[in-house]
Amino acid sequence: MSKPLNIGMIGYGFMGKAHSNAYRQAPRLFELPYTPVLKAVCARNADKVKPFADTWGYESIETDWRKLLERKDIDAVDICTPNHLHAEIAIAAAAAGKMVLCEKPLAMNAAEGVQMVQAVEKAGVANTVWYNYRRIPAVSLAKKIIDEGKLGRIFHYRAKFLQDWTINPEVPQGGAGTWRLDVTVAGSGVSGDLLAHCIDTALWLNGRIDTVCALTETFVKERKHALTGQVEKVGIDDACTFFGRFENGSLANFESTRYARGHKALYTFEINGEKASIFWDLHDLHRLQYFDHRDEGKLRGWRSVHVSDNSGEHPYMDHWWVPGLQIGYDSSFTHQVADFLINLGKGQPTSPTFREAYETQLILDAILQSAKTQQWVQVAKG
Amino acid sequence: MSKPLNIGMIGYGFMGKAHSNAYRQAPRLFELPYTPVLKAVCARNADKVKPFADTWGYESIETDWRKLLERKDIDAVDICTPNHLHAEIAIAAAAAGKMVLCEKPLAMNAAEGVQMVQAVEKAGVANTVWYNYRRIPAVSLAKKIIDEGKLGRIFHYRAKFLQDWTINPEVPQGGAGTWRLDVTVAGSGVSGDLLAHCIDTALWLNGRIDTVCALTETFVKERKHALTGQVEKVGIDDACTFFGRFENGSLANFESTRYARGHKALYTFEINGEKASIFWDLHDLHRLQYFDHRDEGKLRGWRSVHVSDNSGEHPYMDHWWVPGLQIGYDSSFTHQVADFLINLGKGQPTSPTFREAYETQLILDAILQSAKTQQWVQVAKG
Amino acid sequence: MSKPLNIGMIGYGFMGKAHSNAYRQAPRLFELPYTPVLKAVCARNADKVKPFADTWGYESIETDWRKLLERKDIDAVDICTPNHLHAEIAIAAAAAGKMVLCEKPLAMNAAEGVQMVQAVEKAGVANTVWYNYRRIPAVSLAKKIIDEGKLGRIFHYRAKFLQDWTINPEVPQGGAGTWRLDVTVAGSGVSGDLLAHCIDTALWLNGRIDTVCALTETFVKERKHALTGQVEKVGIDDACTFFGRFENGSLANFESTRYARGHKALYTFEINGEKASIFWDLHDLHRLQYFDHRDEGKLRGWRSVHVSDNSGEHPYMDHWWVPGLQIGYDSSFTHQVADFLINLGKGQPTSPTFREAYETQLILDAILQSAKTQQWVQVAKG
Amino acid sequence: MSKPLNIGMIGYGFMGKAHSNAYRQAPRLFELPYTPVLKAVCARNADKVKPFADTWGYESIETDWRKLLERKDIDAVDICTPNHLHAEIAIAAAAAGKMVLCEKPLAMNAAEGVQMVQAVEKAGVANTVWYNYRRIPAVSLAKKIIDEGKLGRIFHYRAKFLQDWTINPEVPQGGAGTWRLDVTVAGSGVSGDLLAHCIDTALWLNGRIDTVCALTETFVKERKHALTGQVEKVGIDDACTFFGRFENGSLANFESTRYARGHKALYTFEINGEKASIFWDLHDLHRLQYFDHRDEGKLRGWRSVHVSDNSGEHPYMDHWWVPGLQIGYDSSFTHQVADFLINLGKGQPTSPTFREAYETQLILDAILQSAKTQQWVQVAKG
């Protein structure tokens, strides 16, 4: 029989919605040793969080996250707040003996990150960070292919995350919906927001990054602050590009921006190996492009694999529909919930743990330092 | 406040799962005047339906659909059985004063269909048929564009539904999972299964079809029957193509098959108008292709519209995620549930009603008659 | 050493230009037993044909095609006139002992066609018809794959040729550039112009077509005639669709139109076999799409083959550039010239010969008859 | 009347073939004030150059390029040799009063380049460098759109040139066909070969690059030398990536490699502007992708423009076929010949001149210096 696992969520924005949906979906689509129970959702403003609680069926609300942590009926805390609160809450949650599921990026920087790692490890609580793209079936399939050795020696890893939503200089910084433009809340701009995803996937698929050299730019230098009403200097990076070297000898070329007109969430990665290459694109997340040099010469070409086979060939897809029918972005969270609960049942960690996500923080720190100093930077070892 | 609406589902196969998911999702993503309550699910075999009920949270099970219809606590009956049971159940449900949501195709043929229409209309019960593709946001957007007159006079409507899952002659006919190959249960082959979808969308987007001329083929003439164990003659159409004329003067070219290697559920349609054309493909259901002749000459081209805008531009998408993040096949059912309940609140019908779906049956009958007689056939008026 | 082969061309329109370019290109790119010498070009209007002769380097001009046929210094006659002149000229050319290269379609109808076949065969002169798409490298590769048996039993052959250039009702019929809308000159509309290409390729790739059932439409019923200045009834088919059965048991679905907004020359074909499928598209003529069911399950997908390998893998491409660099539409004519001259050196015919192209006429006749009688028609044996 | 322009070509490899074809094609497709006459082709080995001269119709051969320069009957010298000979020949040709058409890259480095610029400018001879991709119609269309201001302020310029032909470590360095791997002959690896193209296009479309930071890698450290037969250290860059800043404030991200499995000549560029973005890909060179934010919200999408309109909308295409029919890679050279001769008739320079191509050398030098020093480098002003 499946046992209840009581969730206390902090925050109720876009990610709060995505996670809530996943808690609802996972037990319907997967056979799980634990069933998430939406015990409480917490936010400062009761009037705003109440309708959210009603919609998603949270049994109660809290307006002080410290209160939530004190509750005996909460097994796991899900942190969906803006970045600047991750560390404080996560450390307190671990101290209170709660499991912690934290939105990405783990922290504002590596210094915070290391404390968070120490906190959950010392407390011995299950922990994971919502780098959800690992569990898009096409990305999981990429991992499977790589682990089988199909690509051979890797030469290149290329990733981009392109958006266009801040081109308009009238978009404010700070406040709900735009806190990602306020450096005191977000920690950084596209690097922590978008590159963090690219880096997490890369570490998973291609291993450690050794050295980086980066460039950042802030195209719109001043924006009105949504909370103060004042025009203030923009502290975030609007665009961040870096290249570098992986430990396995392959080259990295990563880019992120919110100024690429025509792209909404164009997260793509391509890996070129000696024998085969793969390419993936979030805008068509249900497809994996694959080129195999071992195919017969006259018929070699990039294969567009529709990752929707439900017979066991394609990761997670045996839990969904039938071949040819794609699943949505939300599925990635559902799969992470399912994996977290299955792993919990086995007493195993769920990737990426805080420790694994801390690696991404180290790289982000190195990138920002490189951009500032205009020097190559060696990534610190985690 | 949202009122409960008690659902009794009959059948628990692939469609039972898709509908159940929709009942669960709709009230989380949409503000609805009614909230579906999964009161009961019914199937002959209690051992098989019990786990399904547990997974999806049905409060009870039944093993005789007549019993289900007698229950006072059921407001609406959802028919997810194989086709040969639709008519009998729907007519009885209407007689019992239940709303009826029926899987497509409505019936085995038009003769059954007309009785079903009469039954629900006489009983005055809300009714709808699960032609879910109308509510894929890209398809709904196509409807919006057409209704705005953007295409001008229509010349061509082209649709295909291609699959490849029955190429292997070892696939049996009859039984769970393969009843669609048994003519006594399915009524027809790809025409009722696949073309029915294409026709429903076409009627909605382009109006009535006047005349048709069709070709059917059964590539594998004999298959083992899963229930009898005997090799028996195959009675279904493996492939069905037809052309014809719409009432608005445009030409139809429709094709369906389960013998198109490489295609899993390739439902595509293209409409060519005087001023603009559109194209849609179920394999990338979140995109609509659009060509507008009024664009500046040197920059005319097919636009690939990523139908994921959440600001109100794209149908249904303001209920989901943020731009660039696609939704899955399952969303189409969720939208139909949402629309059904919203319409119910307003006392309005939900398209396609039984009457509208009956139009599709008339065309299917004409197609099969044409294929048999090798003559053009005038579609009967509904 | 390469011997001269003296060409006399009749007509100087779009096809005259394409053929002339091919005569110029072929000997530069291929090692040939014969070198085409552009001896004369013939058209009624000397003032118009003179600049054409100068541009392409024809040594002389003629204004009467009968004169051209009388010239001793002409070895081969290339017929680039509108369709209604093909038969008369070709028969006279054969009688004069000239080789004949004739633009497609071979004739206005099968009755003319059979006489042309008899004429060239009786005279024993080399002959070919410019169904140039056979020699697009991607199409030639398709043939190679099929001949190797890679597709297995064929179930479906689907072809379309879509254009949009006659939507505007102000486009006249008759005269230079628009003679294809004048039935007395063209013989038919899209069937003879566009479908003829589709049929020729199909016969080559998939064998004989047995029976057909067709639909034609004339969307714009009257157009001004460019020569008479009068508004006259339009006699051509604006759109023509047919389905039918190939001798090998596969089903045909063919469509052509000049009313498909957004498509300029969208000739596509797809062949679905038991084991593999292929797809080609003239708008991206350098690519062949290929799906192979024998690929490893989790990595099956349509391969986009860039047909540009110059190591011998891809037909004709070893005569051009390096991998990744595509060639143009014009190459198809260059390849036909090269093949014609190489075959001539070996005393072998060049496909499609008049006899082979006559097969296409028989099918076109059957299609038009079917559309007229609204009956299935058995294709006459050639 | 068109006047003859006598060409003397030096070299007869891949580029010798491409240029020769262009000299043959240009006067057939364009009305030109000068007609190229293929007077002589020069190479050290008479036995090898003779068949080339015969194929392309060169009137004579030379085996010493200095002899060629002495000939009075040569108006223009076309340099198709490996890179290390460009400077010496070009300078001598200018001194001899010949026009000079030089293959790209202009020189081994900027130091050579500046002398070449001075030589042609001092001599006052017409000069151009074969950066042929500018004259692919889709690329020329990109230029037109940008010059019209359609993109608004530019934020990003992204370019890649990916190949995979040197992954096999058995590929030798040096010798015919592989001199590009010998640093003493090529000057550099992918930077001078592939990036040079990307940079030339970028300078043309987006203006000067101010600062760069680069990374190079040599994956295969030793290769057999085709001439010496010895295994020798590889001196070229196998991969080269750089980012930097354009003078207009936009960011550059460029990458080139010969180790990207599955790509043959994947030269792509994307430009993101405030109002619109464009994308181009050499593998489908006849298409330009365009996104315009000013399009109606619900129908915004990337447009795939088939650059084949012959009515004047699309650059150069009125000289070719009809809409929908693509042209090949070779057309870019044909267009450069046509432009060179038309400009010559008007006494105007043809872009890129030696001076313009020298800009590319300055950037290449900066890139290689940056990669070596691991520092940002300011590009010297030309």
Report the candidate in D120, D95, D96 with the shortest Cα–Cα distance to residue D107.
Answer: D120
Query: What pLDDT score does A176 carry?
Result: 87
At D220 the three-state DSSP class reads coil
Q: How far apart are CA A160 and CA B59, in angstroms?
A: 48
Place of tokens 């010493």: D64
Amino acid code (one letter) for A131: Y
Q: Please compute the mean of the pLDDT values over residues A74-98 and round it to a whole number.
A: 98
DSSP state of A43: -
Q: In this complex, which of A56, A284, A327 lies closest to B28 when CB atoms are compared?
A: A56
Q: State the Cα angle at C20 between C185 and D284, rounded to 5°.
A: 95
Question: Is D251 near chain A, with CB under 8 Å?
Answer: yes
Q: Please compute the mean of the pLDDT values over residues A142-157 and round it to a whole number.
A: 98
**pLDDT tens per residue, range B171-200:** 999 998 899 999 999 999 999 999 999 999
- Contact (CB<8Å) A324/B24: no
Query: What pLDDT score does D308 carry?
Result: 98
Place of tokens 């014809």: B244
Identify the closest residue of chain A to C315 by CA–CA distance: A298
Low-confidence ranges of chain D (pLDDT < 70): none
> Is pLDDT at A382 greater than 90 in this prediction?
no
Neighbours of chain D (3+ CB pairs under 8 A): A, B, C
> Is pLDDT at C26 greater than 90 in this prediction?
yes
A248 burial type by CB count under 10 A (0-12 exposed, 13-18 middle, 19+ buried): middle
Query: What pLDDT score does D382 carry?
Result: 81
Answer for the pair D163, C324: CB distance below 8 angstroms, yes or no: yes
**pLDDT tens per residue, range A187-229:** 999 999 999 999 999 999 999 999 999 999 999 999 999 999 9
Q: How far apart are CA A367 and CA C30, in angstroms?
A: 55
At D70 the three-state DSSP class reads helix
- Contact (CB<8Å) C155/B219: yes
**pLDDT tens per residue, range C274-316:** 999 999 999 999 999 999 999 999 999 999 999 999 999 999 9
Question: Is A21 near chain B, with CB under 8 Å?
Answer: yes
> Which residues fall within 8 angstroms of residue B347, CB to CB, at 6 or more apart?
none
Query: What pLDDT score does A15 carry?
Result: 97
Q: How far apart are CA C19 and CA C332, in angstroms?
A: 10
B304, B310, B313, B315: CA torsion to nearest 10 = 90
β D302-306/B251-257 pair status: unpaired
Q: In this complex, which of A24, A56, A325 lies closest to B329 when CB atoms are compared?
A: A325
Identify the closest residue of chain A to C307 by CA–CA distance: A298
Q: Which residues of chain D make contact with B306, given a CB cutoff of 8 A?
A: 301
D303 burial type by CB count under 10 A (0-12 exposed, 13-18 middle, 19+ buried): buried
Identify the closest residue of chain C to D54 by CA–CA distance: C28
Q: Which residues of chain A make contact with B323, given a CB cutoff of 8 A?
A: 165, 264-265
Question: Is A370 near chain D, with CB under 8 Å?
Answer: no
**pLDDT tens per residue, range A317-354:** 999 999 999 999 999 999 999 999 999 999 999 999 99
- Contact (CB<8Å) D264/C324: yes
Q: Please compute the mean of the pLDDT values over residues B131-147 and round it to a whole number.
A: 98
C100 burial type by CB count under 10 A (0-12 exposed, 13-18 middle, 19+ buried): buried
Q: How far apart are CA B252 and CA B212, in angstroms?
A: 8
Quote the ipTM score: 0.97
**pLDDT tens per residue, range A265-296:** 999 999 999 999 999 999 999 999 999 999 99
Largest CA distance in chain A: 66
- Contact (CB<8Å) D303/B305: no
Q: How far is D203 from chain C (nearest CA, A)?
A: 23
Given strand D60-62, what is the order of strands in its sheet? Answer: D60-62, D34-42, D3-10, D76-79, D99-102, D127-129
Report the candidate in C174, C280, C177, C319 with the shortest Cα–Cα distance to residue C236.
Answer: C174
Report the candidate in A125, A129, A140 with the shortest Cα–Cα distance to residue A344.
Answer: A125
Identify the closest residue of chain A to C141 by CA–CA distance: A298
Q: State the Cα angle at B379 between B378 and B382, rounded to 5°.
A: 145
Identify the closest residue of chain A to D253 by CA–CA distance: A241
Helix C46-56 / helix D14-29 crossing angle, nearest 10 deg: 170
Q: How far apart are CA B313 and CA B138, in angstroms?
A: 11
Query: What pLDDT score does A42 carry?
Result: 98
Q: What value does the mean pLDDT of chain C take?
A: 97
Q: Where are the alpha helices (DSSP H) in A239-330?
A: none
* Residue-by-residue DSSP string for A53-110: HHHHT-SEEES-HHHHHH-TT--EEEE-S-GGGHHHHHHHHHHTT-EEEEPSSS-SSH
Amino acid code (one letter) for B119: A
E strands, chain D, in order: 3-10, 34-42, 60-62, 76-79, 99-102, 127-129, 154-162, 209-217, 222-224, 231-233, 239-246, 251-257, 266-273, 276-281, 287-292, 302-306, 377-378
Does the pTM surpass 0.90? The reply is yes
**pLDDT tens per residue, range A246-270:** 999 999 999 999 999 999 999 999 9
> Which residues fall within 8 angstroms of residue C214, CB to CB, at 6 or more apart?
C240, C241, C242, C366, C367, C368, C370, C371, C377
Q: Please compute the mean of the pLDDT values over residues B193-214 and round it to a whole number.
A: 98
Answer for the pair A107, A117: CB distance below 8 angstroms, yes or no: no
Q: How far apart are CA C359 and CA C344, in angstroms?
A: 23
Q: State the Cα angle at D312 between D310 and D318, rounded to 5°.
A: 40
Q: State the Cα angle at D323 between C358 and B283, rounded to 5°.
A: 90
Name all domains of chain B by residue range, CATH numbers in brackets.
3-133 (3.40.50.720), 134-353+358-373 (3.30.360.10)
DSSP state of D308: -
At A374 the three-state DSSP class reads coil
Query: What pLDDT score does C382 carry?
Result: 81
> Is pLDDT at C177 greater than 90 in this prediction?
no
Q: State the Cα angle at D266 between D262 and D267, rounded to 5°.
A: 165
Answer for the pair D380, D365: CB distance below 8 angstroms, yes or no: yes
Q: Which residues of chain D make contact with A155, given a CB cutoff of 8 A?
A: 167, 219, 239, 257, 259-261
Q: Which two tokens stand for residue B113?
A: 């269909």
Q: Please compute the mean of the pLDDT values over residues B14-32 and round it to a whole number.
A: 98
> Is pLDDT at B382 greater than 90 in this prediction?
no
